[in-house]
Structure 1
Amino acid sequence: MQVWYASYGSNLRRDRFLHYIAGGRPEGASRTYPGARDRTPPVDDRPLTLPGAMFFGWESPTWGGGIAFYNADSEGPTLARAYLVSDQQFADVAAQEMHRQPGDDLDLGQVLEHSRHDLGPGRYEALHLVGELEGAPVLTFTTPDPAALQLNSPTAAYLRMIVAGLRETHGSSDDEVLDYLLARPGLGDEWWRDRLAGLLSG
């Protein structure tokens, strides 16, 4: 079965996402990923806009600082990138996001029937069906309780991944990137517009 995995954080950048498939360590990260059982690259990828809101929270041991989460119940939009992968690859990406070894398949029946399925209390264990594209379901994952997750500002390395992904996927201009990121909850006061603009130009 093929599914579209909708990414809204650092995986907006294709090269970064491919580390979940092929393994390896992304630029700026402190973690090496084992990769998926099936290392075939995504069949396709597309720009996508989700109806909920992306925000920054938690404290990532991989990046330091906050990382992106999705709140389906808040006003959006969220700019995303959908990768066409197998259901097995989707399961392996989700496992690695939870700092687990890939290898177990996911039963997607619940999320496909009810549009949401909480696998557990972990950071990315709430599966969401966010649409359909060319006959295949569009799935993403996030924290089961966005309101309970502490907001936290991201690091420059993490933001650079998102900026590169927004440019790659949506062709966003610098002003569009700035407006989008500055409106994200959790960005933090240390990322005022001029400093964020400096990161874009750097």
Structure 2
Amino acid sequence: MKLSALAAQIKNCGHCEVINNGGRIFVGTGSAFYCMDGYPRTQDAGELGAMLGIPQKKMKNIFYHEEYTMDGKLYGVRWDDEPEHEGTTSEVKTRIVINGEELIALRNPDGSVGFIRSELLKPVEGELNKEFAQICVRPTNQDCRFIYAVKDGMILRALIAPMNIKDDVANDLDEIIAELMSRRQKQIIEKMHDDLQDLAAQEAAEKAKRIENREEK
């Protein structure tokens, strides 16, 4: 994991949360949590800040707290590697930028599309480049009805909350999509018109050729 990317997130939002899932530690900001397997177990904010390269003075201004899962669950989310009802996603090639933030669109197993901030994937970029890396979706029973899980094979590496698209942004996207669909429809009609003209020209040429052949006989 890229600790500097995680540190940047914590410094930017001023919030650091440590989740203890039966001794397995996740560190995050509320929008995303990253598994700390393989890193030393820290005892407090000072030690965590030192490991992440966050100056002690800066760390004192960051809201730090710890939470413990109960039976592997917290905030309505399962924190284990292989929960029930988890499904795989596929990335939509087109990315969008809203208010300066790049969003990645993910197609969920039910056909719906969710968005995550590309910035939140930076700490686990190395994991995503591995052969069996995948982004899965798992249900929750909180306000957010699902959450994304970055996995290295079967091993959970991060949990990332989807981006909530506000109504005004959704309205703008609807307008853009409507315009694109209108242009696409126009292009289809123009192509059909061109194809019909080509077909008519071809048939006229074939008819003229047959008449010419009959006259030669």
Q: Normalized against structure 1, the TM-score is what?
A: 0.24
Higher helix share: 2
Q: Give 1 or 2 for the bigger CA radius of gyration.
A: 2
Q: Quick check: which one's strand share is greater? A: 2
Higher RCO, 1 or 2 (CA under 8 Å, sep at least 6)?
1
